[in-house]
Amino acid sequence: MKRYKIAAILIFIHGFVEICAGLGFIPLWLSDFDTSAMEQYFVFIVPYLQENIHLMSILGMIYGSVRLVGAVGLWKNRMWGFVISVINCITTMVLMIFMLPAGIMDGIFSCSSLLLIMTGYFGNRQINE
């Protein structure tokens, strides 16, 4: 049970960071800031993501919101929270390579959360019992 709580905290922090990063872009959108100048601050290895940084921030806020919902469900020991959190962690592990260098933080949070969730769920069970 304790592993689920730690994983829920990590997932919650990760979701909160994603939402805050997206909210940080709102003043830039409202001020009609040229996002192409942001290459010196935010760099993604995939040019399409770099060119559409405003859409990436919106998707990050959506993804962060789903992550928060999953973390709350996991904290309350609900199976739907468990499933949402596992899906989020696996999806993040697949996509983190495309979002380097920010993907490093995603990988640390998601991989450690997934390890905690899986070891909490399966415990000491063996493959062939």
pLDDT in tens, 2-29: 999 999 999 999 999 999 988 887 887 7
Question: Which pLDDT score, from 0 to 100, does residue 77 have?
Answer: 93
Whether 85 and 71 have beta carbons less than 8 Å apart is answered as yes
Question: Which pLDDT score, from 0 to 100, does residue 36 have?
Answer: 63
The domain limits of the chain are 2-120
Q: For residue 127, give the DSSP letter.
A: S
pLDDT in tens, 47-106: 777 777 778 888 889 999 999 999 999 999 999 999 999 999 999 999 888 877 778 888
Using the Cα atoms of residue 82, residue 83, residue 84 and residue 90 in order, give the sign of their dihedral.
positive
Closest CA to 99 of 44, 53, 61, 51: 44
Using the Cα atoms of residue 96, residue 37, residue 64 and residue 19 in order, give the sign of their dihedral.
positive
Cis peptide before 47 (omega within 30 of 0): no
Per the document, the length of the chain is 129
Closest CA to 6 of 65, 71, 87, 63: 71
Question: Which pLDDT score, from 0 to 100, does residue 22 have?
Answer: 84
